[in-house]
Amino acid sequence: MAEYLVTGGAGFIGSHLVHALAGAGRSVRVLDNLATGSWANLEAVADRIEWIEGDLRDGAAVEEAVRGVRYVLHQAALASVPRSVDDPLTSDAVNVGGTLRLLDAARRAGVKRLVFASSSSIYGDSPSLPKVESMPPDPLSPYALQKLAGETYFRLFHRLYGVETIALRYFNVFGPRQNPQSQYAAVIPLFITRLLAGERPIVYGDGEQTRDFSHVANVVEANLAALAAPAAALGGVYNVACGERISLNELLRVIGEELGVRPDPIYAAPRPGDVRHSLADIRAARAALGYAPSVGTREGLRRTIQSYRATVATGASAADGGPG
């Protein structure tokens, strides 16, 4: 019987959490429908995990997934602003309805603690920097609104039912296993893979928009810290980032330096729902969770570039498909 459940555990962030827990000798169960994740992300730990291929919208699969576990790291989502703009109904069914179904099943199963993967998109485009958890939310996309609803449900289940919950607001996570081939791929894997292929990267907007990028190792550390956090932290929401920002133009320059090329980007119209500037205040996470990011932006880019170079060299792909 597994002690930990990672929803979305075959995805980018979820698979890193599964590897960390399995590597530490923890018993881990994964729930994933492989809509955006890949079994290839878990092959290295396949003999040390329990696998359930299922959807958050499927009540029977969710109940099976939470049965007997003590801790849940809820990473499963349709995690894309543009996707939510294109198809708000489906993203809401997964990100809100699926989250509520998970919470209710976990409450009935006696799960001890749940950690929720939320998003900095909740802050919207407020000019105030850095973003502090006490700021009023101002979601600009269905995805951001859905993550705010998830946070609210997590807090409500703590207050109403006594379930131990913590929500983590991720700021622009990047690293190995992030899929560059998706229609909704994040900017760093797109930049790296286009430059590796000798293609011009696309920048939406003028490139002067800024982001607080965080390597996935920092997110793993934050989740593990949230699992061990004291009672005073429960029901809370905490920013997870590096506490530093960089423009997309500067990001391209740094990636180009690491690759030994001079980027010549194509500038396109800004995308609906994108925010102009983002920077996290991470003092609350430091104080309540003991969170301290260990991988800075430049070192994280180095590690990520090495990973993508190795993938290109070996011809590896992130094909979907479950075990067997």
Spatial CA neighbour of 74 closest among 129, 1, 147, 25? 147
Q: Coil, strand, or helix at residue 119?
A: strand
Domain ranges of the chain: 4-314
Please give the average per-residue pLDDT across 16-35, as a whole number: 97
Token reading at 35: 């809509």
The pLDDT value given to residue 321:
45
Residue 143 bears catalytic tag:
yes
Phi-psi region of 20 (alpha: psi -120 to 50; beta: other; left: phi over 0): alpha
Token reading at 69: 């576990």
CA distance linking residue 76 with residue 29, whole number of Å: 13
CA dihedral over 221, 154, 55, 92, signed as positive or negative: negative
Please give the average per-residue pLDDT across 198-221, as a whole number: 96
pLDDT at 34 over 80: yes
Class in CATH terms, 4-314: alpha beta
pLDDT at 323 over 60: no
Q: Which of 4, 71, 123, 143 is flagged as catalytic? A: 143
- pLDDT tens digit string along 67-96? 999 999 999 999 888 899 999 999 999 999
CA triple 294-260-305, angle to 5 deg: 35
ω before 270 within 30° of 0 (cis)? no
- pLDDT tens digit string along 147-199? 999 999 999 999 999 999 999 999 999 999 998 877 667 899 999 999 999 99
State the pLDDT confidence band at 250, using cuts at 50, 70 and 90.
Answer: very high
